[in-house]
Structure 1
Amino acid sequence: MEEEFVDLKKPGRRTNITNLHHCHVECFYTVLDMQIQEFNDRFDKINTELLGCTVSLIPFGSFHEFDQSKLVRLSEFYLEDFCSMELISLKHQLGIYIDNIREDKRFADLESLGDLARVMMETKKHLLHPLVYRFLKLVLTLPVVTPIVERCFSAMKIVKTTLRN
């Protein structure tokens, strides 16, 4: 990979780049740009923001991606499910929730939102943090009740398979 890249269109001309550089810049970045463009074509701004904010709730890596401001933003999409007082209370409950959950060893090795909901029920944490649990249930139903998102995931699967082949 450290050898000089030879352009097959102009084999006699020196390129002054390595094969590794060519793979990164010409191949990898091109495919990455194509996937990002396909993602942007399939998902509108709101769906992209919903998915980005949802990542903040995933328990992987001891809640490494937890971001209270993103979760508050995500809750604003559910105005029909939370009254204004509940939204204010949710903001406070999220801070207490993350401190409580990170200290509990039973939540250390969780990998999905489904696991998180199950362990919250088993440990009765859903009673301590009812708004967070309701919020979690709403997030869990998001992919099921949004057929557009499901179709987009199917399209992304086709694109990824085509690009891999």
Structure 2
Amino acid sequence: MLLNVVGVSCKRRELIREIQAQKLAQALEVDELEIGFGLNQELGLKRPGDTRWSSHYKTLLNVMDLFSTIFKVLMIIGKDGSKSEDKCKAQGIFYSMEDQDIINATRLVSLTKCQLQKMREDGWEIHLNKVISFCNIHGIVVPDLEACYIPHGRSKRFVQQVTYRHHFRIDVFIEIIDLLLQEFNNRFDEVNMELIRCMACFNPRDGFSSFDKESVLKLATFYPSDFSSIDLRTLECQLDIFMEDMKRDNDFQNLQDISSLSMNLVETKRDVAYPLVFLLIKLILILPVATASVERVFSGMTFVKNKLRNRIGDQPLNDCLVTFIEKEMFLQVSDDDIVHRFEEMKTRRKIN
């Protein structure tokens, strides 16, 4: 649907190019991107092939890189599209891309890890039979699995003497699954999964069907500086009244995400009535932004702390990072204001 709506016409593809070119020009202006041969190539939403899975992967990578640009294009089509059908489709895609069901996401992660582990333990023979069947159909020679493995293009002296069966099972099949499991564990460890599960308990979808009081209280314990032992007891009392209030009020029955819940709480002044509950919701909403901000800082350090500034101190590094990361705000400050601020400081030499 995304490809049909956004990439259906030359005009919309050109709109993607223009928006992406503007972003690229701004990034190059502030030295956020490196310049060189083959870098910063133009990206587009190429339609993937039905039988070439690598094309699907490349399309997904382009969607990730063009995510903010696609959002802008969908908003333009949704507001100013020439056809009402395109407007409805653009709005539907926009909201479906924005919506993130945390509960289903965590469940899918756990199920995927279980399936990979199950495949590692019991899936070798099934996979091997499929591969042999495929090779027989297409006339591909299958080596004797009990024969000694002979590597292509490498000397036998540097390869362990094993059979083809051992090589394909241990060095290929199991090793790839272990890499996938390790990547899942690095990105979704038990602490992060527990945190996400607790956060999902505030999801207002389907009349707060996923709400769990104990999980919400456990989430509050992750913020000891914001919730003391007395605050936790108060929060426990507030939660009972809060949920009863939410279930009785029709304005809170059709909400789809936590951000909508927080806005409704402010509009109805319930953020004042349930201050600790609202504080916890704010912390939930801030967490993804705070995480992204930290990653952004570490990405910025590769540009700020380069070879020329390799021995820079902590305070100068911090100052340089602030101006680099918040460059959009600092670019609005004129040079005259900076000079005037510098002159108003303690005694310093200045050019008259």
Root-mean-square deviation over aligned CA pairs? 2.6
Residue 92 of structure 1 deviates from its aligned partner by 1.6
Which 4+ runs in 1 deviate beyond 4 A? 33-37, 148-151
Check if 1:64 corresponds to 2:206: no
Structure 1 SS opposite 2:134: coil
Is contact 1:143–1:149 with CA below 8 Å preserved after alignment? Answer: no
1:134-149 residue pairs with structure 2 within 5 A? 134-147=279-292
Contact 1:59 1:110 in 2 (8 A): yes
Matched, 1:39 2:165: no
Distance in 2 between the 1:44 and 1:71 partners? 20
CA distance in structure 1 between the aligned counterparts of 2:249 and 2:292, rounded to whole angstroms: 36
User: Which residue of structure 1 aligns with residue 220 of structure 2?
Assistant: 75
Deviations 1:12-45 (CA, angstroms, capped at 9, x unpaired): xxxxxxxxxxxxxxxxxxxxx9977643221332
Unaligned runs of 5+ in 1: 12-32, 152-165
1:8 aligned residue:
134
- Mapped partners of 1:46, 1:150: distance in 2: 18
Q: Partners of 1:59 and 1:106 in 2: how far apart?
A: 11
TM-score by structure 2 length? 0.33
Residue 118 of structure 1 pairs with residue 244 of structure 2: no
1:105 maps to 250
Write out per-residue CA displacement over residues 44-86 of structure 1, whole angstroms, 9 at most, x where no aligned residue.
Answer: 3221111111000011111111011111111100111112101
Q: Percent identity?
A: 38
More off after superposition, 33-42 vs 141-150: 33-42
Query: Counterpart in 2 of 1:52?
Result: 197
Distance 2:293 2:196 in 1: 13
User: In the comparison of the two structures, how many residue pairs are matched?
Assistant: 126
Greater relative CO (CA pairs within 8 A, separation 6+): 1
**Residue 100 to residue 76, structure 1, CA distance change in 2 (3 Å):** same
| 1:123 partner amino acid | T
Residue segments in structure 2 that go unaligned for 5+ positions in a row: 1-129, 138-177, 297-352
Cα 1:131/1:79, change in 2 over 3 Å: same
CA offsets per residue over residues 139-158 of structure 1, 9 Å max, x none? 1101111239979xxxxxxx
Q: TM-score, structure 1 length as denominator?
A: 0.67
Partners in 2 of 1:148 and 1:43 — Cα distance?
19
Counterpart contact for 1:143–1:150, Cα < 8 Å: no
Shift of 1:109: 0.9
Aligned to 2:76: none
